[in-house]
Amino acid sequence: MSIEIKQQEKQSNGVGYQSAIGVAVVTAVFSIFIILLLGLNVYHTKVTDPVRMAELEKMKEQAKAYPADQILAQEIQQLDTQLRRDQFARLYFLERGTILLIVTLVLFTGSVIWAKSHRPGLPRPAPQGDLKTQQIQHASRTRLAFIFGLVLLCAGALFWIMHAPQMPAGPLYTSMDHAQSQWSAFRGPGGLGIAEFDTVPDTWDGKTSETILWKSPILLPGHNSPVVWEDRIFLTGATQDKQQVYCYDTQTGKLLWQRDVSIPVNPARDDMDIMEDTGYAANTAVTDGKRVCAIFAGGDVGCFTVEGQLLWEKHFGIPESMYGYAASLTWFENVVIIQWDVGYEGEESKLIALDWQTGDTVWETKRPVPNSWSSPTVVKIDGQYRIVTTASPFVIVYDPKTGIELYRVDCVYGDMAATPIVAGGKIFTIEPYNKLVAVDVDESLPRDDEQTRILWENDSEMPDICSPLSNGQYIWTLTTPGNLSCFDITDGSKLYTQSLKMTFQASPTVVGQRLYLLSEKGTMLLLEAGPEYKEIRRNELGEKCFASPAFQDGRVYIRGDENLYAIGKSE
Amino acid sequence: MPRIQRAVPILVLWILCAVPAFCIERFPPPQFETDYTLKEPTTPMPRGEWLQILDVVVLVAALSLASWLVLKKRSRKAIVGLMLFCLVYFGFWRRGCICPIGAIGNISLGIFNADYGIPWVVVAFFFLPLVFTLFFGRTFCAAVCPLGAVQDIVLLKPLTVPHWLEATLRLVAWLYLSLAVLFAATASAFIICRYDPFVSFFRFSANPAMWVISISMLVIAVFVGRPYCRFLCPYGLILRQIGRISLFRVTITPDECIHCRLCEDACPFGAIDKPTVQWPQKEYAKGKRRLLLLVLCLPIFIAGGTLLGYKLHPRLAQVHPDVELARRVRLEQAGVYKERTDASDAFYASGQSQEQLYEKAAAKQKQFAVGASIAGGWMGLVAGMSLIQYSIFWKRHEYQAQRSGCVACGRCYNACPRHYIWLKKKKTG
């Protein structure tokens, strides 16, 4: 009797029976389908392929008779390939199909056995019990379980919230496009000496403090230029024993912070060849608005946040440099770029890219040049940022992302101090005292024929320190003894030379239609940026100046021998 | 045991059928080999216009036939037949694409993104089952959906899922639907398609993780009736709500319920409601107070959900490629990640500035802040409404197929003695 009940219970599962029947039907249909396909496969192998094989053999016989018949050979090859392809496809299908067939047949048999042993009988509903209590319990359980699930879900969400990663509020590194509105490196954007601001003061007087907003003392000497990012000015100063980075407030001139860059113990420092005109801090610092990085004549690099927190230091060792290492830094997105041109044989020089944040070397490229004093510039050429450098005898252009040299031109010799500029699709570089050279920036030109890149040269009196300047139409050069020359950018023809009768070390700047020339004595000459010499006015600062000025909208920042000046109208 | 003994020769005989297929002579090794392996696409190729029209025609025909079979013919066998056809057509032949479930992503993206043009066939696939459900109940789930068909076929040993567990697990489906709409609307991802557990079978290809999910789901479906449809399917949720107001619906009995209780356990999906008895007055009054309290708490549920959604938005936003790339680039720049990914490599090579990337990521995050808040609020509303639903006393006088939960599979027909009488009457005219 009990066996009978058990049997009935076992058989009562109608769903299992139905499902088993379903599986049996599906697997049977599927098996038949596979068998048909396999049969078709065998038919092709046994009937179709031999015919094609015979055809192939016939063609091969023909080919023996006509060995030079290329078309026939090609046809044989095609048919042979096709036959092999088909054969492998059939073998593949055969293997997979057989496995599939076995699996489905096993499933079919299993489901038939299952269905037979689970044929459904009539359901036997259990006694109902107290329906009222059941209903109340049922609803109560559902609510409780639902609330429990809800609480679990919320707890999961809260856990997830607590462990949510911090999303970037902004970029860690500044893009070059953003930097175009700032004076972040030597001579401003692209190192071009062009201040694209609407209002820049043109009148001031250091004696009467007219238009001088503030004047702040600089603790240590240096010929480097100030760099400006929004409300902060950065510059450096150094002596043989101390080297510092300074941060000033643009509004008040208050020294916000000063930080030392350490000097490693090195006896060679006492024997460094540092000219008085160069000093220990001729190299202009760089900032990307988040950090400031400075290098000194002793090869020591320090990087700080704009708040003055030290990020890293790096010491390259005392550079072998005839007048003292003076190249300014430049930067590109996530790297600070150092033109480390040292030594006399051209074997130690290199271009180095250090990570802004960590100081790690991102890339390093050897340079076949001796020591130089020129600075690298990062400038946009044909939509791509490029590093332009010059050192005897080459102008070399690099990719700032990788440091790969793109092209070089053998065109200038001597002790290179002037920084090259890019204007009107040309690179302009100066051979000290001798000539101005225009180089084509077209990267599609052959690399092995360097001379095709030289568009024109003008043998003329050229500066040894001051960098050239262009507004895209004319190019101006300014020698240390004060000879200002103007050339046509298209063919290099000289338009005028004017003796200014004063000495210059600061590189000139173009602001709108005016040239700003800062003499060693602190006189700022304002000239018309045209093909003829025309002086507009002179502003006296009353303090010696060696550094190129920095510009901001409505402001000029001039580093004097001892003080930093902010010139502009008070807001 | 004797049955197995009888089955063995049959099995051997079947297997022997395959043996001749091995008798193919081997070919010599090929002379023209290359290292190149032709990649096969993992998603179905675009189809011609006429094939798309054919798909829609087949869908309409299948829906019409399914409705007729479910409501008029009342034949489980015929429903299974149609289900197998749809499994082959929409599943294996059409490789599971496009399907109305995945179309939720396209529709959401189309609504919230003016630049995205929704293909007409997607619109048709999304709305046609909804329209049919509005009139005839969930006949799409019954016989047309290939995902439902796979689960229906493998259901061998159905276990009863208690109502309290089913109600709680359905929260997962609501969450899935909310996230699917959010990610699609923000053009982040089509998660329904990406994590479709059965498409691996239809396409015979998936990554290892998806194979594990697919096979697990299939194994679960052997014991739990249609687990995907009941606890995950976002489209099923929409159909459930429309099914509540459908014009016609599945009835267990063709005419009257005789309370024989034979159908009580006939539904493996727990979609048969028993008749109710009058609750005690005391319990009834308590229930009314509870209901009032829950209705008053509904705004709190919505507000809480909105707040939770808002707080979760930075996490959720990471699903969007731009936001994830921005995070990756930032961490690479900070030196946290020493190596670059393909995506960050591509970004650096593109010449795009970091500012642009961060701006894009920030804009997307703003979208997520709004979207996640709405999704959270919606989840709060769902939770509140569900609790209200579980606190209402529903009067029923007979055994009924649930309007929302019934997938119209037709299993309950055969459990009803009135059905057999009806069939007999029909035969005899």
Can you give the pLDDT at residue B62? Answer: 97
Contacts with A, B 38-97, CB within 8 Å: 76, 80, 84
Cβ contact B274:A126 at 8 Å: no
Judged by a CB distance cut-off of 8 A, whether residue B219 touches chain A is: no
Can you give the pLDDT at residue B350? Answer: 84
- This complex has an ipTM of 0.82
Peptide bond into A136 cis (omega under 30): no
Which residues are A566's β-sheet partners?
A214, A557
Long-range CB contacts for residues B309-312, cutoff 8 Å, separation at least 24: B309/B372, B309/B373, B309/B374, B309/B375, B309/B376, B309/B377, B309/B379, B310/B369, B310/B372, B310/B373, B310/B376, B311/A157, B311/A161, B312/A157, B312/A160, B312/A161, B312/A164, B312/B372, B312/B376
Judged by a CB distance cut-off of 8 A, whether residue A399 touches chain B is: no
Look at residue B294 and tell me whether its pLDDT is greater than 80.
yes
Compute the distance between CA of residue A327 and CA of residue A313 in angstroms, rounded to an integer: 18
Compute the distance between CA of residue B259 and CA of residue B252 in angstroms, rounded to an integer: 11
Can you give the pLDDT at residue A12? Answer: 45
Tokens of A374: 């020129």
- Is A123 in contact with B386 (Cβ distance < 8 A)? no
Can you give the pLDDT at residue B184? Answer: 96
Can you give the pLDDT at residue B36? Answer: 65
Judged by a CB distance cut-off of 8 A, whether residue A355 touches chain B is: yes
pLDDT (tens digit, 9 = 90+) per residue, B159-186? 889 999 999 999 999 999 999 999 999 9
Look at residue B9 and tell me whether its pLDDT is greater than 80.
no
Which residues are A478's β-sheet partners?
A484
Cβ contact B180:B191 at 8 Å: yes
pLDDT (tens digit, 9 = 90+) per residue, B233-283? 999 999 999 999 999 989 999 999 998 888 888 899 999 998 888 777 888
Q: Provide CB contacts within 8 A for A472, sequence distance 6+.
A: A423, A424, A489
- Is B169 in contact with A153 (Cβ distance < 8 A)? no
pLDDT (tens digit, 9 = 90+) per residue, B316-358? 999 999 999 988 888 877 667 878 899 998 998 887 777 788 8
Residue written as token pair 């021998």? A561
H helices of A410-460, in order, are none
- Is A175 in contact with B18 (Cβ distance < 8 A)? no
Q: How many residues in total does chain A contain?
A: 571
Torsion angle of the four alpha carbons B191, B195, B197, B198, in this order, in degrees rounded to the nearest 10: 70
Cβ contact A225:A235 at 8 Å: yes
A457 sits in the region (left: phi over 0; alpha: psi -120 to 50; else beta) called beta
Compute the distance between CA of residue A483 and CA of residue A481 in angstroms, rounded to an integer: 6
Give the residues of chain A that fall short of pLDDT 70: 1-15, 123, 165-172, 571
B64 sits in the region (left: phi over 0; alpha: psi -120 to 50; else beta) called alpha
Cα-flanking dihedrals φ and ψ of residue B301, to 5°? Answer: -60, -45
Mean pLDDT of chain B: 88
Which residues from chain B sit within 8 angstroms of residue A131, using beta carbons? 276-277
CA dihedral (A221, A222, A225, A226) positive or negative: negative
Contacts with A, B 88-147, CB within 8 Å: none
Q: Where does residue A456 rank: exposed (0-12), middle (13-18), buried (19+ CB within 10 A)?
A: middle
Cβ contact B133:B51 at 8 Å: no
Q: In 3D, which of A259, A254, A354 has the Cα closest to residue A308?
A: A259
- The DSSP letter of residue A151 is H
Which residues from chain B sit within 8 angstroms of residue A106, using beta carbons? 11
- Is A22 in contact with B365 (Cβ distance < 8 A)? no
Judged by a CB distance cut-off of 8 A, whether residue A89 touches chain B is: no
Min Cα distance B21 → chain A (Å) is 7
Judged by a CB distance cut-off of 8 A, whether residue A357 touches chain B is: yes
Give mean pLDDT, residues B61-72: 96
- Is B21 in contact with A94 (Cβ distance < 8 A)? yes
- Is A16 in contact with B156 (Cβ distance < 8 A)? yes
The 3-class SS string of A459-514 reads ECCCCCCCCCEECCCEEEEECCCCEEEEEECCCCCEEEEEECCCCCCCCCEEECCE
- Is B277 in contact with A131 (Cβ distance < 8 A)? yes
- Is B15 in contact with A102 (Cβ distance < 8 A)? yes
Considering only alpha carbons, which residue of chain B is nearest residue A158? B308
Look at residue B4 and tell me whether its pLDDT is greater than 70.
no
Q: Which of A125, A149, A158 sits opposite B171 (nearest CB)?
A: A149
- Put simply, whether the predicted model's pTM sits higher than 0.80 gets the answer no
Tokens of B406: 């019934």
Can you give the pLDDT at residue A69? Answer: 86
The 3-class SS string of chain B reads CHHHHHHHHHHHHHHHHHHHHHCCCCCCCCCCCCCCCCCCCCCCCCCCHHHHHHHHHHHHHHHHHHHHHHHHHCCHHHHHHHHHHHHHHHHHHCCCCCCHHHHHHHHHHHHHCCCCCCCHHHHHHHHHHHHHHHHHCCHHHHHHCHHHHHHHHHCCCCCCCCHHHHHHHHHHHHHHHHHHHHHHHCCCCCHHHHCCCCHHHHHCCCCHHHHHHHHHHHHHHHHCCCHHHHHCCHHHHHHHHHHCCCCCCCCCCCCCCCCCCCCCCCCCCCCEECCCCCCCHHHHHHHHHHHHHHHHHHHHHHHHHHHHHHHHHHHHHCCCHHHHHHHHHHHHHCCCCCCCCHHHHHHHHHCCCHHHHHHHHHHHHHHHHHHHHHHHHHHHHHHHHHHHHCCCCCCCCCCEECCCCCCCCCCCHHHCHHHHHHHHHHHHC
3-state SS class at A407: strand
Rounded CA Rg of chain B = 26
Tokens of B8: 């063995």
**In whole angstroms, how far apart are CA A315 and each of A266, A284, A312, B105, B285?**
11, 17, 10, 57, 84
Percentage above 70 pLDDT, chain B: 89
Q: Where does residue A369 rank: exposed (0-12), middle (13-18), buried (19+ CB within 10 A)?
A: buried
Judged by a CB distance cut-off of 8 A, whether residue B16 touches chain A is: no
Can you give the pLDDT at residue B23? Answer: 47
**In whole angstroms, how far apart are CA A162 and each of A159, A166, A218, A552, B377?**
5, 10, 48, 44, 20
Q: Where does residue B188 rank: exposed (0-12), middle (13-18), buried (19+ CB within 10 A)?
A: buried
Compute the distance between CA of residue B215 and CA of residue B399 in angstroms, rounded to an integer: 35
Can you give the pLDDT at residue A234? Answer: 96
- Is A360 in contact with B355 (Cβ distance < 8 A)? no
Considering only alpha carbons, which residue of chain B is nearest residue A177? B353
Give mean pLDDT, residues B180-209: 91
Cβ contact A443:A407 at 8 Å: yes
A81-96: burial string, b at 16+ Cβ within 10 Å, e else: eebbebbeebeebbee
- The DSSP letter of residue A395 is E
pLDDT band at B428 (very low <50, low <70, confident <90, very high): confident
Can you give the pLDDT at residue A11? Answer: 44
Q: Which of A150, A167, A170 sits opposite B383 (nearest CB)?
A: A150
Cα-flanking dihedrals φ and ψ of residue B383, to 5°? Answer: -60, -45
Cβ contact A351:A398 at 8 Å: yes
Q: In 3D, which of B214, B284, B239, B267 has the Cα closest to residue B401?
A: B267
